């Protein structure tokens, strides 16, 4: 082999060695990329979360607790984290006064569909603010606000009680996700908060529709809370949302501002009526026993007098009957005796008596036959 052939062979060998080295580097690089790709599926599940895996678009039945979750990277596996170990709070302001339902600038929306955690209020930033404000402005254009006082079905939040009275309310609901699989299967995650809120409002509407305004604003408030809690939970269970309603609180439940004065007058009249009724009951409790005592005393005296008069009348009637019988037997004797008894009775009452003699000097005392 000459020098030229040897040089060509050495060049080919060097080229082969360089190509082999490149292949080895590419293998290591592809291996590293494969390892990096496989490790990219490792997900950290927070202590307040559970994780679910969608594998090739199908939800897997396992619920993964907090910690490191080894899953295949996308698009094979998709990990969904659910805050099932914390308590969620909803501020329900659809029935609140107008100022609580306004869309504020600066990226904060206070409204009926805001969902928050335990830490703070409802916050929507970025494009969501513009979309919310645009939707609100469009709706406001369709429903212009009335110029005068009163309630507008869009601009003012309120509901109707069973006795057709209007009330406004600020409500708070607290719930937790008890079944993460049911939670993610029920509806898209972005719509679940609205669905939970709508079911709570439905339960509150149904409950208030069976109550009168006096109970809703007074002693029936605890009953209202418990019934809404039970009715909303039944709706969650029926729809299999995987939600447990922990608490339902009524921040405020008042009549609308336009009717506050009328409600105050009614309340004042009711208090005055209760006061008068209580005074009347007190007067009745004090006077009625006295009246009963006087009535019993008067009846007792009347009964005693009646018995005395009846006894006396019966005795006089018996005496008269006896005299009448004797008069039939010997009228002259009886008349003489009665005349003598009468004379004795009359003269016994005369302290001084004067008898004048007649012309003959004799005194004759004549008593009329029929005095």
pLDDT, tens digit, 9 for 90 and up, residues 24-78: 777 777 766 666 665 666 788 888 899 988 888 888 889 888 888 888 777 888 8
What pLDDT does 236 receive? 95
Residue range 347-365: average pLDDT? 64
Domain ranges within the chain, ordered by starting residue: 12-82, 88-255
Is the distance from CB of 84 to CB of 50 less than 8 angstroms? yes
| SS3 state of residue 79 | strand
pLDDT, tens digit, 9 for 90 and up, residues 22-37: 777 777 777 666 666 6
Is the distance from CB of 147 to CB of 64 less than 8 angstroms? no
pTM, two decimal places: 0.58
* Mean pLDDT over the full length of the chain: 78
Task: Look at residue 128 and tell me whether its pLDDT is greater than 50.
Answer: no
Residue 63 to residue 149: CA distance in whole angstroms: 54
Query: H or E stretch including 258?
Result: none
pLDDT, tens digit, 9 for 90 and up, residues 152-165: 767 778 888 998 88
Residue with tokens 């004048």: 356
Is the distance from CB of 82 to CB of 190 less than 8 angstroms? no
Task: Look at residue 197 and tell me whether its pLDDT is greater than 80.
Answer: yes
Query: Which sign, positive or negative, has the C-alpha torsion 182, 188, 189, 190?
Result: negative
Paired with 244 in beta bridges are 176
What pLDDT does 34 receive? 61
| SS3 state of residue 89 | strand
Q: Is 115 left (phi over 0), alpha (psi -120 to 50) or beta?
A: beta
Confidence of residue 217 (pLDDT cuts 50, 70, 90): confident
**Joined tokens for residue 186:** 């029920």
Residue 60 to residue 52: CA distance in whole angstroms: 7
Residue range 240-268: average pLDDT? 86
> What φ, ψ does residue 352 adopt, rounded to 5°?
-130, 130
What pLDDT does 346 receive? 76
For residue 203, give the nearest of 173, 178, 179, 240 by alpha carbon.
Answer: 173
Residue range 164-191: average pLDDT? 91
**Joined tokens for residue 204:** 């509150």
CA-CA distances (angstroms) from residue 330 to 336, 337, 341, 343?
A: 10, 11, 17, 20
What pLDDT does 310 receive? 93
Paired with 248 in beta bridges are 173
Please list the alpha-helical segments (H only) found in the chain.
3-39, 127-142, 180-186, 189-209, 213-217, 221-239, 260-329, 331-347
Residue range 255-283: average pLDDT? 86
Residue range 7-12: average pLDDT? 67
What pLDDT does 278 receive? 93
Task: Look at residue 226 and tell me whether its pLDDT is greater than 50.
Answer: yes
What pLDDT does 366 receive? 55
CATH topology of domain 88-255: Tetrahydropterin Synthase; Chain A (3.30.479)
CA-CA distances (angstroms) from residue 337 to 108, 330, 334?
A: 125, 11, 5
Q: Please state, for a pLDDT cut of 90, what percent of the chain lies above it.
A: 30
Whether cis (ω within 30° of 0) applies to the bond prior to 314 is no
**Joined tokens for residue 295:** 């009535």
* 126 against 163, higher pLDDT: 163
Task: Look at residue 140 and tell me whether its pLDDT is greater than 60.
Answer: no
Task: Look at residue 307 and tell me whether its pLDDT is greater than 90.
Answer: yes
């Amino acid at each position: 082999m000459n020098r030229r052939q040897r040089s060509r062979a050495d060049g080919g060998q060097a080229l082969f060695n360089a190509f082999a080295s490149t292949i080895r580097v590419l293998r290591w690089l592809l291996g590293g990329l494969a390892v990096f790709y496989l490790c990219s599926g490792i997900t950290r599940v927070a202590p307040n979360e559970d994780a679910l895996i969608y594998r090739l678009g199908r939800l897997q039945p396992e619920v993964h607790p907090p910690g490191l979750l080894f899953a295949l990277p996308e698009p094979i596996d998709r990990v969904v984290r659910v805050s099932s170990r914390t308590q969620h709070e909803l501020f329900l302001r659809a029935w609140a006064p107008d100022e609580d339902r306004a869309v504020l600038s600066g990226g904060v929306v206070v409204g009926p569909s805001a969902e928050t955690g335990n830490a703070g209020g409802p916050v929507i930033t970025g494009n969501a603010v513009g979309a919310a404000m645009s939707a609100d402005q469009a709706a406001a254009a369709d429903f212009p606000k009335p110029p005068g006082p009163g309630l507008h079905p869009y601009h003012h939040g309120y509901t109707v009680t069973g006795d057709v009275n209007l009330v406004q309310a600020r409500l708070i609901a607290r719930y937790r996700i008890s079944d993460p699989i049911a939670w993610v299967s029920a509806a898209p995650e972005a719509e679940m908060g609205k669905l939970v809120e709508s079911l709570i409002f439905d339960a509150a509407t149904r409950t208030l529709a069976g109550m009168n305004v006096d109970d809703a604003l007074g002693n029936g408030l605890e009953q209202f809370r418990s019934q809404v809690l039970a009715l909303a939970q039944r709706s969650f269970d029926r729809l299999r949302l995987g939600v447990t309603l922990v608490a339902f609180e009524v921040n405020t439940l008042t009549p609308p501002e336009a009717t506050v004065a009328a409600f105050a007058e009614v309340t004042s009249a009711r208090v005055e009526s209760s006061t008068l009724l209580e005074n009347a009951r007190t007067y009745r409790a004090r006077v009625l026993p006295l009246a009963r005592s006087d009535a019993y005393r008067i009846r007792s005296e009347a009964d005693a007098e009646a018995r005395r008069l009846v006894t006396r009348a019966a005795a006089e009637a018996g005496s008269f009957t006896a005299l009448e019988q004797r008069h039939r037997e010997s009228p002259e004797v009886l008349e003489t005796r009665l005349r003598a008894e009468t004379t004795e009775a009359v003269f016994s009452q005369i302290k001084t008596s004067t008898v004048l003699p007649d012309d003959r000097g004799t005194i004759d005392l004549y008593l009329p036959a029929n005095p």
